[in-house]
Amino acid sequence: MKKVTLLLLMVFLMVAIPIDAFNESKYWIPIFMKRADLEQSVKYEAGSRPLKNPGKIYCKDHYIYVNELYKGVHIINNSNPAHPVNEGFIIVPGCVDMAVKGDIMYVDNAVDLVAFDLINKKITHRIKEVLPEPIAPAGYSMDYPTHNRPKDMILVAWKEKNEND
């Protein structure tokens, strides 16, 4: 029984860990935004956008909200599950998570927590610098020291870069 359990664990690890996670030629560089620009960056955009790098999914009533990592949130009307409609996109730089209560979406705007009114399509409240800054994706632990950071800049995303770039 122990051999079977060990074999299953080894197979799971081989499937669960992406091969490129061990590729040392890739690394992540931070993307910054000015604090003033960050505070003006959350906007609603009608119409659809293609899903390129989806993250978390949140369902409420007949809507599906899909996070586009570091970019924002897709709003999909699923009142007819046979034909879902991508109605719009909330631009939120640094976004990796969201939750909805009533008609308010709570979303991370890099290090800020923002309350976004889904009916009126605007921010109702912002709490500055209450969240940790976004971390490099795919299990990489890349930390960017704050003493090297340009003045008045907020880390909003990470971009993958190869040594050959």
pTM equals 0.78
At a CB cut-off of 8 Å and minimum separation 6, what does 100 contact?
A: 58, 60, 65, 106, 118
Q: What is the pLDDT along the chain (165 residues), one digit of tens a residue?
A: 555 444 444 444 444 445 444 545 567 788 999 999 999 999 999 998 999 999 999 999 999 999 999 999 999 999 999 999 999 999 999 999 999 999 999 999 999 999 999 999 999 999 999 999 888 766 555 556 667 777 889 999 988 876 665
Residue type at position 16: A
Give tens-digit pLDDT for 132-157. Answer: 988 876 655 555 666 777 788 999 99
How far apart CA 64 and CA 157 sit, in angstroms, is 24
Residues β-bridged to residue 153 = 34
Whether the CB-CB separation of 139 and 21 falls below 8 Å is answered with: yes
* In 30-156, alpha helices (H): 35-39
